[in-house]
Amino acid sequence: MSLVTDVFEILADPTRRRLVEALRTGEHAVNELVEVVDIGQPGVSRQLAILGEAGFVRVRPDGRRRLYALRPEPFRELDDWTRRYRDLWEARLDRFAAELDQRKKARSRDKGRRASAARPSDSPNKRGGSAT
């Protein structure tokens, strides 16, 4: 299994993703994270251990507490990996945007043509004078 596959497997779990989101704001003790993810302390500790083994979090003792924080390295590696595919998606999105723009312009032109075709033209009966 590759590093990237491992990363996606680790981050696939919604509880772990919520923990990662909570840790974006800085260090947190387990009891603080329990409130955020709304699962019990043993569950949070288990998920933090998985994140720690995968290198996503570091632990710092603070007296009797253990503070957890994100490590930037795995996120940089993930960003490096996704960057290789960003050009592919950006090129496709650029082509998609150009196509949408062309369709919008075509609809606008069609609307203008229909509006001018729907205007009443001068008819012979409406020319000055009365027909008697």
How many other C-beta atoms can be found within 10 angstroms of the C-beta atom of residue 35? 10
Asked whether residue 32 is assigned to any structural domain, the reply reads yes
Q: How many domains would you assign to the chain?
A: 1
Mean pLDDT, rounded, of the chain: 85
Asked whether residue 103 is assigned to any structural domain, the reply reads no
- Read off the CATH number of the domain in which 53 is found: 1.10.10.10
Mean pLDDT value of segment 26-47 = 94
Containing domain of residue 36, as a range?
3-71
* pLDDT (0 to 100) of residue 72: 94
Enter the pTM of the model. 0.64
* pLDDT (0 to 100) of residue 1: 42
Mean pLDDT value of segment 68-97 = 88
27: left (phi over 0), alpha (psi -120 to 50) or beta: beta
Q: What's 59's DSSP letter?
A: E
